[in-house]
Structure 1
């Protein structure tokens, strides 16, 4: 029964499966291509973009690149076409020697997703090598007794190409005695043998010259030649024979130089000179150095160079044994190099990040690297590790690729630089390890506000400071870096005594130094409370505040102020009264002063600076009381002038003086009479002036008497209405003492007194009666002091001399 033809639907299904399998293979991370050796640079290998499912322009955008290790870069990616091309000339024989197929493996990395694809490229052979014999001429000695059919092994040619381009056939130049036949060996190669076709006759022809041609199967065909010189000898009809057709030996790669690893032995059935066997090594083409040495007499094979498993795993040694007449035989020695753990793991950094922000989330990738060990087996089994105290971990990927990622958020203020040491250990005996250092800088973000060294500050400023002088300095520290740590200072705007803070102080935004914009007055305000703000230059900016108290220190910049006696407001001069009967210590008056400063600057002392009658009056140092120092005498002048100085205890001290006028009399007429009796010293030339003075005194006395009469009438009327005094005797009531208050809170209790002046009448005279002083300790304000009149009525009555004036306060 004939097979049914496949339907188109089945063929489409099969084709779809094939395409899906090819695409799945690429997506699984394995791509295979082939390219002939000796191709020009830029030769097309495969369409990477198509196999990755990408457009060619997307290769550069996604950071597709080739990752290989241990050798020069042989391939490149074309950014225009998305193809894999050759990066230079590729010699298959140099890479793979006789191995078939010749496969090169590398990886394709997509940096944006960090996906890795394995690529396998087969390097196909071209006919670029000519078959080559190890020698140019071969000499063969053969006995003339050799019977036809005798076989003589010949030198084999070597062709580094493989497949159809390798050695295919041998041809022998035409002759009457010899023919060429091929013999298959144990390595599946064919070796030429010279076969004797006719018996030799040395007498007819002692030497035969032959030409052996070796040809490959390439296009065009390449060939090499070997000249053969056959010398006819007598009776040597046996060639040497090895004890083994092929020798095998295994040697560790760390075996010392000079070690004998094997001895080959060949025997010859002949006797005498024909049985003497010598050993020779058949050198291969392009073998520039010998790893092994063959002792020609003993057949010992000795190591002459250090073996390296990672370079060559197998060594093939062709050995010939030749007897005395020249017959030879050959054998092969296969040396297997055993791996020892002599290579530490190697790191290949594929991608490394040098910095990461401190707010990077856990799982942020720091580095992608590959670890490779040139050893094999257990010696190449690797384990990578990190120190346990670091916030990082390793994630293993395909083909010994590792990702170094973070495990928790980083803090630059604690650790700003990480020197991460990655350790790779193999499992050899003894194990070997190597380290790779990854230097990671943690970049700053603005996550810390500026911080002041103290929670609050206080500073002392002397009053009357210079404008523009620096008065204090604050400093805030920001543990961030760069602009995030650049601190600027400012004042939180507020109002002080209905004026903006900026009119009092300013601050340098860069240094935090505060400057006074005005001269502070302790008497206006004693403390300035403000807030200083420190802001960094991050985005967004962070800030913090701190309170600052500026305390003004008092300076002695105010002189004492005289509160009593005050300057009369009517233009007259104040006069204090003292009776002639006053005993020593009699309180005449009291000087009251205050100082607007504070502390020691407001401590006052009083002293008598000048007196018209020295020794008559004394002033209390601390009280300011003016008392009589002795009893008044008749010879004492009616009017006494005293200058009292008031001084504070500041540095330097300030003082003020006041002039007091004290009238000494027992009655008003007596006061007037005494005032009239006051004359200047006699002078013959001053008679005119004296006359003027007498007239002036008389006028003043008349005015004064008129004023007294009017005043008495007003007093009598007032007393009558108030029913205070039934008698018709006029008198002057006591003036109330005005209270005093020290300036700026400096309280002084001032002992005041008042003179109660009573005017009594008898049948002839009027008298002034001086009762005991009335003391009152009262605290009043400066305004009250300025508005109050502390002159008693008696003092006004005694104001009779126009030449006397009240002294001004200094």
Structure 2
């Protein structure tokens, strides 16, 4: 178990050393004397660190030093390290034997840190000095020889051989000097009475105490000692303690009483009046502590700092009115308090990183310091847990901030990283520093339409350049990578390029019609809209847009039957006079190129020769008789029929139908012949047609008479009167073949002609009408003639009559 623990410790130590070596690429040390002038040469840092002079400026090499005062500077052209500000070793390091300044040279371009250690050597620039210009001693005339008087020590801020080395006393016959060295190496002097004093002989003795250091050149200072000889005082003061020890908080406010010293004197009168004073105290301590000479209270008058000094040792003296003194020692232990807030300084910082940066990309190098000691100076550095970054200690007081996860600018484009540094003191103190990091964009997102597919409706006959639809695509990238451009994919409609019908605004995605749409040609458009961003490489996406063309009522009904033949004639419909109500005369056939309710047709009878004789089916267009024919009814009926659709607004067409009412062929022929021919001087065609119809009619009647005569003669010759019956069955059928193969049923009727021998004469019989589409007889012969007569009521309309026998 111990072996495993030792192995783990070795691995941990190796890891720490490797991490430190990774960040610190080199370490050098220089030694210079203090008080060098600004601009003085320190060392060739570029050469000593192995840096190329050409790379100093390109890699952003700079000095990072602790504190506000920058004592050193680096010339990036020469690589020399020189003095930037004069250094006072005593002010910087105090009485420390070794004074070291640490600076770091950072190369931003390669993220390397070089440690430089500079030793400041002491020079003898300070002479020993006494706190007061004069030392006043009172000595009773009965003081025995050998009595020692402690003298105030001189202070020399230099160290080593340059510090205080000796004391000398001016020549006299009463006093001698004893120089001793304390445990901390500080020399102090005592005045020894060698010969009894006689106040009456000499009441005041003037001495000179000289303090000398060991520097080159030697420096010294002197102080006047005035010894006043007093009358006899046989009891000296006595302190209550020979050594006072007390602790004081470093954050103790000014005026705080640290300790009250006390001494007693058994004498009376002025000889028992005790005065307290410091006799061994440093200049720095004298600015922090104050002694009340009457009460013995020691209070704080300056700022204590545990990090500057942990312990103060002060010599105190109690002197009575007779000049007798007592000595004691005061030890003040400064208690460390967590009174310094941790400090954060950014040594290196990257302002922005790409969103595709790998995990572990360095962001910043931070230096964290706390001037407190012990646990009060130990810090914990942290960032919020929900950030994709990792903060870890690099070496010493440096922390590195790196990416810990893959970044996505579309989710977070900017991070405000809050770094919190907290020490382990009680109560803990903390400081916060924020770093703003921008995430730069890459083109990693395609444009996305707000719908998977679009469906729209467009009215036909829309004017050109009309906005008919709008698409919208967004790109979650930024700037040029998010700029969307729209275009149409290639396509055809009825073998015509799609681009001739529609276009799309490349910036807005609005679709425009370049020409009108015709619902009767195509009923929908299916197009592909492409959205493309402006990044590199280009990313794009497509969407299907289906546009349904909405019908408009832009087509009037077209009448297929009856229609105007190409020769300008109009057909005549036949209706037997014996027809029952509801007899189907003909059927109006019409179509509408529109659709839906725009193609729903209605048929209306606008006018007729005899009102109430005919009706038209509202939706079927069937022309039927409304009642039986009367003798007063006109033989030729002209009917005007309106066909309209159900659109808004409604469109319509009219047609004129001529119906001949007749039971026999002779009635029909006579009715047709009675039709007046309208005068038309512009064309002779009508006249020719009338003559042709008349001629054909005459030939037809002659043929009938001759045929009947031949049949009667043959019958008589064969003498078959009793057993012969001849029946002619003619089933004429009137039909019309309309446009596009539409065949409209008109009407069918049959006439039966019978000749019998029982009557002794020929008899012509018109039986009741029946519907048929066949012609059957044992012996059948048929002749069909077409008569074209002009209509007396309608200009240029012509009548087509088909007679079947």
**TM-score scaled by length of structure 2:** 0.79
Aligned to 1:752: 745
The whole-number CA distance in structure 1 between the counterparts of 2:686 and 2:127 is 160
2:479 paired with 1:482: yes
Is the alpha carbon distance of 1:223 and 1:238 closer, same or farther for their aligned partners in structure 2, counting shifts above 3 Å? farther
* Deviation (angstroms), 1:88: 1.5
| Contact 1:158/1:284 (<8 A) preserved | no
Is the alpha carbon distance of 1:278 and 1:662 closer, same or farther for their aligned partners in structure 2, counting shifts above 3 Å? same
* Deviation (angstroms), 1:420: 3.9
Aligned to 2:692: 703
| Contact 2:563/2:570 (<8 A) preserved | no
Aligned to 1:315: 312
Matches within 5 A, 1:53-72: 53-72=50-69
The whole-number CA distance in structure 2 between the counterparts of 1:105 and 1:307 is 25
The whole-number CA distance in structure 1 between the counterparts of 2:179 and 2:785 is 165
The whole-number CA distance in structure 1 between the counterparts of 2:353 and 2:23 is 34
The whole-number CA distance in structure 2 between the counterparts of 1:454 and 1:89 is 73
Matches within 5 A, 1:48-127: 48-127=45-124
The whole-number CA distance in structure 2 between the counterparts of 1:467 and 1:765 is 76
* Deviation (angstroms), 1:521: 1.1
| Contact 1:240/1:269 (<8 A) preserved | yes
Is the alpha carbon distance of 1:27 and 1:450 closer, same or farther for their aligned partners in structure 2, counting shifts above 3 Å? closer
| Contact 1:520/1:552 (<8 A) preserved | yes
Aligned to 2:44: 47
* Deviation (angstroms), 1:655: 0.8
Aligned to 1:782: none
Is the alpha carbon distance of 1:765 and 1:407 closer, same or farther for their aligned partners in structure 2, counting shifts above 3 Å? farther
Aligned to 1:608: 605
Aligned to 2:647: 650
* Deviation (angstroms), 1:567: 0.8
The whole-number CA distance in structure 1 between the counterparts of 2:269 and 2:671 is 184
The whole-number CA distance in structure 2 between the counterparts of 1:759 and 1:801 is 29
Aligned to 1:738: 737
The whole-number CA distance in structure 2 between the counterparts of 1:774 and 1:221 is 158
Is the alpha carbon distance of 1:527 and 1:797 closer, same or farther for their aligned partners in structure 2, counting shifts above 3 Å? same
Q: Indicate the SS of the match to 2:649.
A: coil
The whole-number CA distance in structure 2 between the counterparts of 1:124 and 1:496 is 95
The whole-number CA distance in structure 1 between the counterparts of 2:301 and 2:94 is 22
| Contact 1:575/1:798 (<8 A) preserved | no
The whole-number CA distance in structure 2 between the counterparts of 1:325 and 1:495 is 128
The whole-number CA distance in structure 2 between the counterparts of 1:382 and 1:796 is 123
Aligned to 2:401: 404
Aligned to 2:33: 36
Matches within 5 A, 1:250-649: 250-253=247-250, 261-262=258-259, 277-282=274-279, 287=284, 290-297=287-294, 299-304=296-301, 307-326=304-323, 332-429=329-426, 432-649=429-646
* Deviation (angstroms), 1:297: 4.6
* Deviation (angstroms), 1:407: 2.4
The whole-number CA distance in structure 2 between the counterparts of 1:641 and 1:459 is 50
The whole-number CA distance in structure 1 between the counterparts of 2:124 and 2:611 is 145
The whole-number CA distance in structure 2 between the counterparts of 1:573 and 1:741 is 19
Is the alpha carbon distance of 1:638 and 1:184 closer, same or farther for their aligned partners in structure 2, counting shifts above 3 Å? closer
CA deviation vs aligned residue, 1:713-744 (integer Å, no higher than 9, x gap):
999xxxxxxxxxxx9999997566536669xx
Is the alpha carbon distance of 1:331 and 1:308 closer, same or farther for their aligned partners in structure 2, counting shifts above 3 Å? same
Moved more, 608-617 or 544-553: 608-617
Aligned to 2:758: none
Is the alpha carbon distance of 1:709 and 1:295 closer, same or farther for their aligned partners in structure 2, counting shifts above 3 Å? same
| Contact 2:569/2:797 (<8 A) preserved | no
* Deviation (angstroms), 1:417: 4.2
Is the alpha carbon distance of 1:799 and 1:667 closer, same or farther for their aligned partners in structure 2, counting shifts above 3 Å? farther
The whole-number CA distance in structure 1 between the counterparts of 2:687 and 2:94 is 154
Is the alpha carbon distance of 1:427 and 1:230 closer, same or farther for their aligned partners in structure 2, counting shifts above 3 Å? closer
The whole-number CA distance in structure 2 between the counterparts of 1:28 and 1:586 is 118
The whole-number CA distance in structure 2 between the counterparts of 1:65 and 1:336 is 41
Matches within 5 A, 1:791-810: 796-800=786-790, 804-805=794-795
The whole-number CA distance in structure 1 between the counterparts of 2:407 and 2:263 is 75
CA deviation vs aligned residue, 1:727-786 (integer Å, no higher than 9, x gap):
9999997566536669xxxxxx8751255788989999999999645689xxxxxxxxxx
Is the alpha carbon distance of 1:274 and 1:629 closer, same or farther for their aligned partners in structure 2, counting shifts above 3 Å? closer
The whole-number CA distance in structure 2 between the counterparts of 1:326 and 1:795 is 176
Moved more, 331-340 or 651-660: 331-340
Aligned to 2:5: none
* Deviation (angstroms), 1:522: 0.9
RMSD: 4.4
The whole-number CA distance in structure 1 between the counterparts of 2:73 and 2:512 is 69
CA deviation vs aligned residue, 1:532-575 (integer Å, no higher than 9, x gap):
22222222222221211111111111111010112122233432
Tell me the number of residue pairs that the alignment of Structure 1 and Structure 2 aligns: 741
The whole-number CA distance in structure 1 between the counterparts of 2:92 and 2:703 is 143
Is the alpha carbon distance of 1:330 and 1:161 closer, same or farther for their aligned partners in structure 2, counting shifts above 3 Å? farther
The whole-number CA distance in structure 2 between the counterparts of 1:794 and 1:328 is 173
The whole-number CA distance in structure 2 between the counterparts of 1:26 and 1:496 is 69
The whole-number CA distance in structure 1 between the counterparts of 2:687 and 2:278 is 167
Which ranges of structure 1 fall in alignment gaps of 5 or more residues? Answer: 1-23, 681-688, 716-726, 743-748, 777-792
Moved more, 315-324 or 170-179: 170-179
Is the alpha carbon distance of 1:656 and 1:150 closer, same or farther for their aligned partners in structure 2, counting shifts above 3 Å? same
Moved more, 526-535 or 119-128: 119-128
| Contact 1:606/1:624 (<8 A) preserved | yes
CA deviation vs aligned residue, 1:73-125 (integer Å, no higher than 9, x gap):
32222212212222212222222222222222233333334333333222222
* Deviation (angstroms), 1:359: 1.9
CA deviation vs aligned residue, 1:678-709 (integer Å, no higher than 9, x gap):
569xxxxxxxx99x9xx999986543233458
CA deviation vs aligned residue, 1:8-35 (integer Å, no higher than 9, x gap):
xxxxxxxxxxxxxxxx999774432223
| Contact 1:345/1:425 (<8 A) preserved | yes
Moved more, 223-232 or 585-594: 223-232
The whole-number CA distance in structure 1 between the counterparts of 2:686 and 2:145 is 190
| Contact 2:675/2:792 (<8 A) preserved | no
| Contact 1:577/1:795 (<8 A) preserved | no
Moved more, 521-530 or 661-670: 661-670
